[in-house]
Amino acid sequence: MLDINKIREQFPILHQEVYNKPLVYFDNAATTQKPRQVIDALIRYYEKQNSNIHRGVHYLSQQATDAFEATRRQVQQFINAPNAHEIIFTRGTTESINLVASSFCKRFVQEGDEILISEMEHHSNLVPWQMACEDRKARLVVIPITATGELDMEVFPTLLNNRTKIVAVTHVSNTLGTINPVKEIIEIAHSQGIPVLIDGAQAVSHMRVDVQELGCDFYCFSGHKMYAPMGIGVLFGKEEFLNAMPPYQGGGEMIKTVSFSGTTFNELPFKFEAGTPNVGDVLGLGAAIDFMTATGIDEIAAHEQHLLEYATQRLTEAGGIRFIGTAKNKTGVVSFLINNIHPFDAGTILDKLGIALRTGHHCTQPIMDHYGIPGTMRASFAVYNTTQEIDIMIEGIARTKKMFGV
């Protein structure tokens, strides 16, 4: 069993009041808070190591370079990637997906080809593929979802054909909490020779991820949703595809030789890391991985599952709650509506009570269209949350219902 109070002590931001109320932070699907060791890693870099990396012969540059590349190997081990050079540092999941959508499609997608995504995708795993389809004159095909918020796995195989060049789906829905059967999706796609990209932004902080076990060709995630700083992300890609794909951006580091007559590109991973990298936040990502590993990823998952079950039970008992997303296999996200109260209005009242929830469409407008609603209230949990905080949220919902006379 985790000592949640001890864990909470590591997060300075949690120990404050909002509108004279103790902060209850349930917006972890948008971004998680940062433990002291991550904050300290940033401070240590900028106070002791700050230097541009690679190519520098002086002491600080070598120290920063060694720490940066050690973190790349740490990420490799964290997701069990075969090789460190298959780990590309980006600004986040969004840039990772944009990189693949741009470079993969330039190399492998032609007019009349198809790209397959799902109805539950975050805009970051939808819009880049739309743009790629427009650029390559390809067609975007969508896997439908069921009334419970699960992928229709009977329809999925029927959408694959010899024109399908890539499948891009989320591991965990940021709105519904649904854990998709990505291993099955990958196996079905691979049986027809189709590569698969997985948006893992909502998965890496909630469960153990092993890209070799999954068999995916690309896996994307963001640091800031797993207790690391904002502005750092990861793209894992199989080297056979990364070697075949053209660079995403041009500039420093991604080159081997440059002349006015032409340029040759660097080897992996530097081919896709143009410009000065975000060294401090990469080191912060390493500290976040240390935190998660020391805490125990399986223990984190079990605690968050307990919170999910407790919140679902308490909300059901409260009455007047409509759940959006009732998949059998979920992680720590609850999306709901309170009677006929607009989610923005309810969220504003809860905010005044110190309770931070996310309201709106959560960058998944097609999901809202599917359910015919303007948006939802979303409570999303992390390792530092407690059942007592859920009780405070339930009390806040009761006050909200009373204010609206429902």
Distance CA 89, CA 112 (A): 32
As a whole number of angstroms, the distance between CA 259 and CA 254 comes to 14
| Cβ 255 vs Cβ 238: under 8 Å | no
End-to-end CA gap in the chain: 39
Identify whether the C-beta of residue 124 lies closer than 8 Å to the C-beta of residue 97.
yes
Count the alpha carbons within 13 Å of 151 in the hemisphere toward its beta carbon. Answer: 25
Sign of CA dihedral 252, 253, 258, 263: negative
Would you say 89 and 278 are in contact if contact means Cβ atoms under 8 Å apart?
Answer: yes
* Angle subtended at Cα 221 by Cα 115 and Cα 140, rounded to the nearest 5 degrees: 10
Question: Which of 105, 216, 220, 363 does the annotation list as catalytic?
Answer: 363
Nearest to 135 by CA among 159, 168, 104: 104
Cα 164 from Cα 193, distance rounded (Å): 9
Question: Residue 200 and residue 174: Cα distance in Å, rounded?
Answer: 10
Question: C-alpha 21: how far from its chain's center?
Answer: 30
| Two structure tokens written together for 201 | 């932004």
Residue 305, helix vs strand vs coil:
helix
**Amino acid code (one letter) for 379:** A
Residue 66 in tokens:
């060694």
Q: Is 220 an annotated catalytic residue?
A: no
* Phi, psi values for residue 89, rounded to 5°: -85, 130
State how far the Cα of 142 lies from the Cα of 203, in Å rounded to an integer.
21
Which active-site residues does the annotation give?
Answer: 363
